[in-house]
Amino acid sequence: MDVAALSDLRGAKRLVIKIGSALLVRKGAPRRKWLRALVEEIAALRSGGVEIIIVSSGAIALGAARLGLPKGGRARLSDAQAAASVGQVELARLWSEALGDHGITAAQMLVTLGDLEDRRRYLNAAATLARLVDGGTVPVVNENDSVATEEIRFGDNDRLAARVAQAARADAVLLLSDVDGLYDRDPREDGAQLVSRVEGVGPEIIAMASETSSSGMGSGGMLAKLQAARIAERAGIVLAIVDGRDKRPLTRAFETGIGTLFLPRRNDGARKAWLGGRIAPLGLLVADAGCARALAEGASLLAAGLTEVEGDFARGDLVAIQGPKGERLGQGLVEYSAAECRAILGLREKEQAAKLGYAPRAAVVHRDHMVRE
Ligand code: GLU
């Protein structure tokens, strides 16, 4: 999809819209009027031929109020899990009623990080999403916070939205936030400028993210939004951050063009995009300078160029790959366990067989199973 301005998103075939807790919930109560107005805009987009998938936060905020939990239910994990259980029922009802008023059927889908990290489960979730959208429903997706634990959760719905967009083969993601978009420095500082277009989220863009951009109710913040943009951009998906606080936020964004538009950098094939968007590597491989150069030219990662192995992983797990100066080079599926990697680190092919006791594989991470930065 060719996108030059926010208004072009009206022409998306499939659009994921993420709504944060701070927009949907105020003082523990749902903002029904705002939601009704938003759903009116969603219904209009759908009439214009855009298929919509919603990623909605708000379960923890709603449930915490109902249970009277401190810190919006985020004081401890067990509170958040309980709050999500209670709040998700209400959240689903809100969406189903609001969409129902326009004759649209809502479909709830709760996913965990693991559901999207594991290839088989990811394809399963993708098939369900496709079926729901083809069936004319609007899926309303959230993280299954009741069973997610600290180590294995998204924790923010921004990255979840980008992953869902990938799984659903959407062409665009709209993150409705409580800020206008990405500013080149802390927006409270004098002279801070809204960045309206980003082509590739590099280190200079990441440096602009300030933790102060989080409203405190959700857990996203700007950094999570930039991570979401990185997941989207390598899958060929456009992502935009726009201010959701307006009464009619989509119309405002499309008409004024105010927001930040992240243009896709490349379109990795579906499998590589999934691999690149995975969030939880189990280990780290450090490569020497020669190896880093070879990787940049598209080679596989060989044991001879390995200098360090961190973490505990099995063959087939996801590992991150780093260069000698700590720079991130990419990630991929490893051909050996952590113990085997340590045994053959720095060795050439001929020396590896003696260490391993069997014929070595072609690479430690094969280029077909690797995504470079
Ligand atoms: N999934 C959480 C909820 O529904 C919110 C995560 C976030 O803050 O982005 O409350």
pLDDT in tens, 22-46: 999 999 999 999 999 999 999 999 9
Gap between the Cα atoms of 213 and 229, Å rounded: 16
Å from CA of 85 to ligand 1 middle: 12
pLDDT in tens, 130-146: 999 999 999 999 999 99
Are the C-beta atoms of residues 87 and 80 closer than 8 Å to each other? no
Closest residue by Cα to atom 5, ligand 1, is 57
Q: Could you give the C-alpha distances from 307 to 253, 287, 324, in angstroms and in order?
A: 49, 6, 8
pTM for the structure as a whole: 0.88
Sketch out the chain's domains with CATH numbers: 6-274 (3.40.1160.10), 281-372 (2.30.130.10)
pLDDT-above-70 percentage for the chain: 97
Q: What number is the average pLDDT over the span 286-299?
A: 95
Answer whether residue 213 shows pLDDT above 70.
no
Amino acid 133: pLDDT? 97
Are the C-beta atoms of residues 219 and 203 closer than 8 Å to each other? no
The amino acid occupying position 137 is T
Gap between the Cα atoms of 85 and 95, Å rounded: 16
Amino acid 272: pLDDT? 87
Gap between the Cα atoms of 203 and 215, Å rounded: 24
What lines the ligand 1 site, CB under 6 Å?
21, 57-61, 142-143, 145, 156-157, 218-220
Å from CA of 303 to ligand 1 middle: 41
Dihedral angle computed from the Cα positions of residues 242, 247, 248 and 250, in that order, rounded to the nearest 10 degrees? 10
Å from CA of 80 to ligand 1 middle: 10
Indicate which atom in ligand 1 lies nearest the CA of residue 218: 8
Q: Which of 17-21, 136-140, 269-273 has the lowest mean pLDDT?
A: 269-273
Amino acid 216: pLDDT? 45
Å from CA of 153 to ligand 1 middle: 11
Indicate which atom in ligand 1 lies nearest the CA of residue 62: 10
Tokens describing residue 209: 């993210």
Tokens describing residue 12: 């998306």
